[in-house]
A and B are shown apart, each in its own frame.
Chain A
Amino acid sequence: MKKRNLSDNFMKLFIILSSIITLGTMIWILIYVISNGIAHVSWEFLTEFQEGQIEGGIFPYIISTLYIIFITILIATPIGIFSAIYLVEYAKPGKIVRIIRFATESLAGIPSIVFGLFGLIFFVTMLGFRWSMLSGALTLSIMVLPTVVRTTEESLKAVPNIYREGSLGLGASKLRTIRKVILPSALPGILTAVILSIGRIIGETAAVFLTAGTAKALPKSIMDGGRTLSVHMYYLAKEGISMDKAYATATVLILVVIVINFIANKLASRLNKKNS
């Protein structure tokens, strides 16, 4: 009895300790970065920039980041969702599905620099898209595709079969069943996939600077290069240009992530409310 109590207590202690370590490190990093950076975040820093001036503001990099996120999501989400629909709703379990699943899983495990190299060779050079938003977004699309497919797949599988039976039993076509019953139920999960992808895109450096370049200009079209906040930070820190600016940029990056997550969460709970 006593022994049991002891191990119970030990377990509890361990759980609490782990939580504290996880949460603590996270909060510590956040506070450290923001406290070092926030003083250098000014209105000028956010909005001003001079062509080719690395010491100036980060406006073009914010735009490049949002630009790349937007195009990547635009490319990767539909493809990912349609693949997941195919895998869950249409494909007969068997060899092809196993191969596709194996491919997506392998793709998820490949380091991002490999995607970067591929993008550099294929999109930048072979297809002649140069260092551009497009090359970057295409490369990142391939990179986040496994996440989108897997997460969407899981949320489709979680839709109870009785909904499918109910709809088909009324004489609705399979397509209509998917569109009107299955997808709406799976939407929160699909949104999670998008959030996860955005997180990966924001955090990515290697695959981005190899394909979208490091141009310090504001991208005016999809064929222009540009640098994202992460890439910019990498340069600031690596070249020792300005640690202050690096922290300030990191602060902005963190804020962007928080805002995007906040919006996505609001959207998800909105959808959930409508659905339940």
Chain B
Amino acid sequence: MNNMKITVKDLNLYYGDFQALKNINIDIEERKITALIGPSGCGKSTFIKTLNRMNDLIEGVKIDGNVMLDGEDIYKDVDVIKLRKRVGMVFQKPNPFPMSVYDNVAYGPRSHGVKKKSILDEIVEKSLRSAAIWDEAKDRLKKNALGFSGGQQQRLCIARALAVEPEVLLMDEPTSALDPIATGRIEELTEDLKKEYTIVIVTHSMQQAGRISDKTAFFLLGDLIEMGDTKKIFSNPDDKRTEDYITGRFG
């Protein structure tokens, strides 16, 4: 039996009167990559954001149910700042801050009280290395991060997320704005990262989900239709709708 990092129980989410998530139950395994797939508007982004409470920012969101991180309810027992330190996020559009590469990566640790230059230097280098962008970044640490290409920016954002030493990394379509080569690099990177981190990734690419994930969850109109080993989901899904979606027969 594998360790469950996150357990979601009977989760419902409403945007005002509109119910975007319907009674979701999911277990997310530690140090595995879980892919979330499903047609546009089915609630993937909404769901992934509930895992680090980014939905708190949106006006009129109502949530019931439980999201347990290592057995603690993140909506009741955990301080949101500490939660987001433990559960980091990489967004669809690369969003480095308009400041230097170094300051970008050091931003998180500084926010959590790390002040010493030598420690920050160490964190910055380690994070950039883990995100496979050290070689490109090491001579440009003091340069503005917006000068990087899209793919580099996204890896920088991953480095920035890693710098606070999270346990879980949430990625919402992290490669949708990137070309195939940059996408390939990020996919390789996730393979490395899963040795240390639990990863949840939203993707529209079946190939990507198939290539990198261990588990796959299929969403449809706010419902979780099916979840299981990626191999099984892709070769022999239980639900007809999953099969239709995966084979591209979905309307």
Chain A contact residues, CB within 8 Å of chain B: 92-93, 160, 162-173, 176, 180-181, 184-185, 275-276
Chain B residues whose C-beta falls within 8 Å of the C-beta of A163 in the assembled complex? 95, 97-98
CB distance from A107 to the nearest CB of B (A): 28
- A171 and B91 contact, CB distance less than 8 A: no
CB distance from B199 to the nearest CB of A (A): 15
Chain B residues whose C-beta falls within 8 Å of the C-beta of A160 in the assembled complex? 95
- A276 and B144 contact, CB distance less than 8 A: yes
Report if B75 contacts A (CB, 8 A): no
10 contacts between A and B (CB under 8 A): A164-B57, A165-B89, A165-B91, A166-B95, A167-B107, A169-B84, A170-B161, A171-B111, A172-B108, A275-B144
- B146 and A181 contact, CB distance less than 8 A: no
**A206 vs B20: C-alpha distance in the bound complex, in angstroms?**
58
**A242 vs B110: C-alpha distance in the bound complex, in angstroms?**
63
- B98 and A276 contact, CB distance less than 8 A: yes
* CB nearest neighbor in A for B85: A171
CB distance from B157 to the nearest CB of A (A): 7
CB distance from B164 to the nearest CB of A (A): 6
Residue of B88, B107, B161 ringed by the most chain A CB atoms within 10 A: B107
Q: Interface residue count for B (Cβ, 8 Å)?
A: 28
* CB nearest neighbor in B for A94: B59
Interface of A is mostly: helix
Chain A residues whose C-beta falls within 8 Å of the C-beta of B89 in the assembled complex? 165, 169
User: Within residues 32 to 87 of chain B, which ones have a CB less than 8 A from any CB in chain A?
Assistant: 52, 54, 57, 59, 81-85
9 other contacts beyond A169-B89, A169-B161, A275-B99, with CB at 8 A cut-off? A92-B59, A163-B95, A165-B57, A165-B89, A167-B111, A170-B160, A171-B164, A172-B81, A275-B98
Q: Which of B82, B88, B95, B146 contacts A276 (CB 8 A)?
A: B146
Do A180 and B107 form a contact, CB below 8 Å, given A168-B54, A169-B52? Answer: yes
- A172 and B107 contact, CB distance less than 8 A: yes
Do A165 and B111 form a contact, CB below 8 Å, given A171-B164, A185-B98? Answer: no
Report if B232 contacts A (CB, 8 A): no
**A181 vs B98: C-alpha distance in the bound complex, in angstroms?**
8
**A40 vs B54: C-alpha distance in the bound complex, in angstroms?**
65
- B93 and A171 contact, CB distance less than 8 A: no
Chain A residues whose C-beta falls within 8 Å of the C-beta of B231 in the assembled complex? none
